[in-house]
């Protein structure tokens, strides 16, 4: 299937070819990004309804590329999964989170965030020794496992296998488990039975329609019945308006996250937000 002239593979769509080339370049850059100090973490508060008090934070990674500027994690995390960089990246992220937790403790004492969510990729869960690595890091840094919520997606634990085993081990280690983006993948309610889940993050796509009396609203309401019955905490994601926040609270939601409350911010900004002086 070779192109006689250029020696290129002829069944390659040129657009695909460019994408693959971009992926390869960006992937190579990503391998160096940690060492070059281009990565950082921001933290988005998860709030309690209806008052907006802080219930926890979710760590989100940022990449400041020297030429392309900010690259979205929605782009580079899947890339890191494909080229395997996610293993090193995930380790770095968890290390940063434990260091930040210690800084918050020193600066804020009893006001420091108690619950910090960290996104864990499917590839990490499938990596042999992943949970042992987490356990070692938490022990070395003196971090209480109960403080770190592991946010996982449905695709990571579909079916039985290493993904589900790893989640069970994380849970046994003492980490609360949150099922992220619930409702977007090949969701199955049986997952809530098979997998130890303490938190369900209801995807933004459902929250978007919650005030319109749409099918999304019915699902948002039903999920409260299900999670309450199972003793699972529900977090509504991507809340952008006061009307949505009110409607979710009426539906029984206690926790929410979204631009209506807070955008992701630096660790220092979280410190300012929570410092007793700022709270007056
Ligand atoms: P996610 O885990 O579902 O994270 C929530 C995303 O929604 C974040 O985007 C956040 O900034 C955004 N968001 C929060 N509230 C609102 C809102 O009200 N409106 C809108 N439009 N968006 C909102 P971000 O930081 O760009 O991350 C995108 C995805 O990249 C994450 O989705 C997660 O899947 C992945 N990701 C980000 N950081 C990490 C990380 O440290 N590790 C791993 N494995 N994945 C990460
Ligand atoms: Ca998440
Ligand atoms: Ca999510
Ligand atoms: Ca998402």
pLDDT digits (tens, 9 = 90+) for 9-65: 556 677 778 878 888 899 999 999 999 999 999 999 999 999 899 999 999 999 999
Instruction: Provide mean pLDDT across the span 152-178.
Output: 89
Between residues 12 and 1, which one has the greater pLDDT? Answer: 12
Atom index in ligand 1 nearest the CA of residue 41 equals 41
What is the CA(257)–ligand 4 centre distance, in A? 12
Supply the pLDDT for residue 14: 77
Q: Which residue's CA is minimally distant from atom 3 of ligand 1?
A: 181
Q: Which residue's CA is minimally distant from atom 11 of ligand 1?
A: 264
Question: DSSP H helical segments within the chain, as ranges?
Answer: 14-33, 73-83, 86-108, 122-126, 130-141, 154-157, 162-173, 191-194, 204-208, 215-230, 242-251, 267-274, 276-279
In this predicted structure, the answer to whether residue 87 has a pLDDT above a threshold of 70 is yes
The pTM of the full predicted model, rounded to 2 decimals, is: 0.93
Task: Report percent pLDDT > 70 for the chain.
Answer: 93
**Tens of pLDDT along 90-107?**
999 999 999 999 999 999
The mean pLDDT value of the chain amounts to 91
Q: Choose which residue among 45, 60, 248 to substitute to test ligand 1 binding: the one with the highest number of ligand atoms within 8 A of its C-beta.
A: 60
| Structure token digits, residue 156 | 């990571």
What is the CA(247)–ligand 2 centre distance, in A? 22
Atom index in ligand 1 nearest the CA of residue 257 equals 15
Supply the pLDDT for residue 3: 45
Residue pair 250/216 in contact by the 8 Å Cβ criterion = no
**Residue 41 carries which DSSP code?**
E
ipTM: 0.98
Q: Choose which residue among 73, 150, 206 to substitute to test ligand 1 binding: the one with the highest number of ligand atoms within 8 A of its C-beta.
A: 73
Per-residue confidence at 206, pLDDT binned at 50, 70, 90? very high
Supply the pLDDT for residue 185: 75
Q: Is the CB of 240 under 6 A from ligand 1?
A: yes
């Amino acid at each position: 299937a070779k192109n006689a002239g250029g020696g290129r593979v002829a069944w390659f769509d040129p657009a695909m070819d460019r994408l693959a080339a971009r992926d390869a370049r960006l992937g190579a850059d990503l391998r160096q990004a940690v060492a070059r100090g281009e990565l950082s973490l921001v933290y988005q508060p998860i709030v309690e309804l209806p008052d907006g008090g802080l219930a926890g934070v979710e760590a989100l990674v940022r990449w400041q590329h020297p030429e392309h500027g900010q690259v979205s994690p929605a782009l580079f995390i899947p890339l890191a999964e494909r080229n395997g960089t996610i293993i090193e990246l995930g380790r770095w992220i968890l290390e940063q989170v434990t260091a930040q937790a210690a800084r918050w403790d020193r600066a804020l004492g009893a006001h420091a965030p108690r619950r910090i969510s960290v996104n864990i990729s499917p590839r990490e869960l499938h990596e042999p020794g992943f949970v042992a690595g987490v356990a070692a890091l938490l022990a070395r840094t003196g971090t209480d496992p109960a403080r770190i919520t592991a946010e996982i997606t449905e695709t990571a634990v579909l079916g039985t296998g290493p993904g589900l085993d790893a989640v069970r081990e994380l849970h046994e280690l003492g980490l609360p488990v949150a099922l992220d983006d619930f409702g977007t993948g090949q969701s199955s309610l049986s997952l809530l039975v098979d997998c130890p889940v303490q938190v369900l993050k209801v995807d933004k796509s459902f929250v978007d329609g919650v005030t319109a009396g749409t099918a999304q609203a019915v699902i948002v309401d039903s999920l409260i019945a299900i999670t309450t019955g199972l003793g699972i905490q529900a977090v509504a994601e991507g809340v952008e308006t006061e009307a949505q926040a009110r409607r979710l609270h009426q539906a029984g939601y206690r926790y929410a996250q979204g631009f209506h409350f807070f955008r992701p911010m630096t660790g220092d900004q979280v410190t300012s937000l929570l410092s007793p002086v700022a709270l007056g």
